[in-house]
Chain A
Amino acid sequence: MMMKAATMRVTRRQALGLGAGATAVVIAGPTVGPAVAKGQTAEDAIKAFTGGAETKTGKVSLSTPEIAENGNTVPVSFDIESPMTADDHVQSVLVVADGNPRPGVATFHFSEMSGKASASTRIRLAKTQNVIAVARMSDGSFFMDKRLVKVTIGGCGG
């Protein structure tokens, strides 16, 4: 698992053209150097949210368009299977986009009054990439879903 995470990071770094030096820093962890804070990866963002806990698939259903013609406004919504009672509810949901210059998109917080843990918004995607939603349940477990969105025109910078 550890090995796999490291390999994934290398690939992503290389894709960003930051080279092997930066890779070493990322593997060493977020405590070293300002370069890391700037180049936080989607995995880092998820890890910060889950505290390193295991993230299972299921319960979360994320919906995005398969192809987004305009990366400036991509509709994203999610629905999480949960009775939403005082004992068993969704606390919060982190949405990240792994190919954006900054992967964090938003964190949604729910309450017992939510009735249903679902929300939708519109987001910016710089290029074709995965959108990931991670839900934190009231019992401390984490569930996720991932969708690939193909972007025709990027939605960052200009």
Chain B
Amino acid sequence: MAKVKPRVKVPKKAEAGEVITIKTLINHKMESGFRKDKKTGELIPQKIINKFSAEFNGKPVFSADVRPAVSANPYFQFKVKVPESGTFKFTWVDDDGSTYSTEKKIKVGG
């Protein structure tokens, strides 16, 4: 599979207490476990991103428990009220145990 690369959109700046929108996307097949191999007729085992989470300055702000019904290249959009400048950390957990993560900084106030 192609290299898994998370993509995240976070505003660079915000006012204190402003509710910002964060958009995240990661390229992943999200193999549902229901598809059959066309040649052998065997079911292709499930391999999905099963967990997504977002932290701000080490505190959990949003997370999702994901099941195979989420589309390939899972996309999540959510809101966060930012109290201060800091760093967001986003983590995706694969069924095979590997994790992918990325970080984004935001500046709050003048």
Contacts and interface: CB of A to CB of B under 8 A. Distances in A.
Pick the 5 closest A-B CB pairs, nearest first.
Answer: A115-B81, A115-B19, A122-B71, A105-B69, A107-B65
Contact of B70 (A103, A109, A110, A122): A122
17 contacts: A72-B72, A97-B69, A102-B68, A104-B67, A106-B64, A106-B65, A106-B69, A108-B78, A118-B78, A119-B76, A120-B76, A121-B74, A122-B74, A124-B32, A125-B69, A156-B32, A157-B32
A108 B34 contact: no
A51 to B, nearest CB: 17
Interface of B: 19, 32, 34-36, 56, 59-72, 74-81, 83
Interface of A: 72-74, 77, 84, 97, 100-111, 113-116, 118-125, 155-158
Contacts of B34: 101, 156-157
Contacts, number: 102
The dominant DSSP class at the B interface is strand
A119 B81 CA distance: 14
Given A72-B72, A111-B62, A102 B77 contact: no
